[in-house]
Amino acid sequence: DAGVTQSPTHLIKTRGQQVTLRCSPKSGHDTVSWYQQALGQGPQFIFQYYEEEERQRGNFPDRFSGHQFPNYSSELNVNALLLGDSALYLCASSAIGSGSYEQYFGPGTRLTVT
Amino acid sequence: AQRVTQPEKLLSVFKGAPVELKCNYSYSGSPELFWYVQYSRQRLQLLLRHISRESIKGFTADLNKGETSFHLKKPFAQEEDSAMYYCALRSGSARQLTFGSGTQLTVLP
């Protein structure tokens, strides 16, 4: 099991553009959470998907949206990119359907907005 | 709203010395507290949680509700303990984690 995988590893976008990040959860996991980690800070919760629905959301604007597919993989979309969106985006999976809230993290996608 | 504070961004100790990484939290209910670790070029991983009261790699952490603290301790630091450590809180039925800003621990030879 490769664990949680994320793609791409890193990318560079221009202000105003849109970006899609992808996450495949650990085998047997049904829940995906997304976090933003700015330089020098801890991860900050964006939102969580379970059963293809957004279940909880942190303090992020509507420019941040997501999706979960029937195979439990997930996408994070960010519209109208701002310089401040430059960060490491982490995906974490868990098996909430089995009653386990322990989150396993992926390696992250490094987004740079110029 | 919940908050996790790690007052030290950087902490250096010599090999064999005791180490304590501080974590304070604010939350009105009964939280679950965790320590996550990130070694160089590796992903974030769970080190320990207060509920299990276990010792992992020689590290322990006790939840002190009176002082709202969850400090991470190890009596004899090893060079391989050098890493970034994050304290995190999960509150009640909420499923997300609230992280502190992290402490970079360096264990000197």
Task: Give per-residue pLDDT as tens, B77-101.
Answer: 999 999 999 999 987 666 789 999 9
* Average predicted confidence (pLDDT) for chain A: 94
Task: Label residue A90 by pLDDT band (50, 70, 90).
Answer: very high
- pLDDT of A7 strictly over 70: yes
Residue B76, exposed/middle/buried by CB under 10 A (0-12, 13-18, 19+)?
A: exposed
- Please give the average per-residue pLDDT across A18-39, as a whole number: 96
> For position B93, what pLDDT does the model report?
64
> For position B94, what pLDDT does the model report?
62
Contact: A45, B86; criterion CB under 8 Å? no
Q: How far apart are alpha carbons B85 and B21 in whole angstroms?
A: 8
Which residues in chain A touch residue B48, judged by CB atoms under 8 angstroms apart? none
Task: Label residue B55 by pLDDT band (50, 70, 90).
Answer: confident
Contact: A33, B98; criterion CB under 8 Å? no
Residue of A nearest to B34 (CA): A102
Contact: B4, A103; criterion CB under 8 Å? no
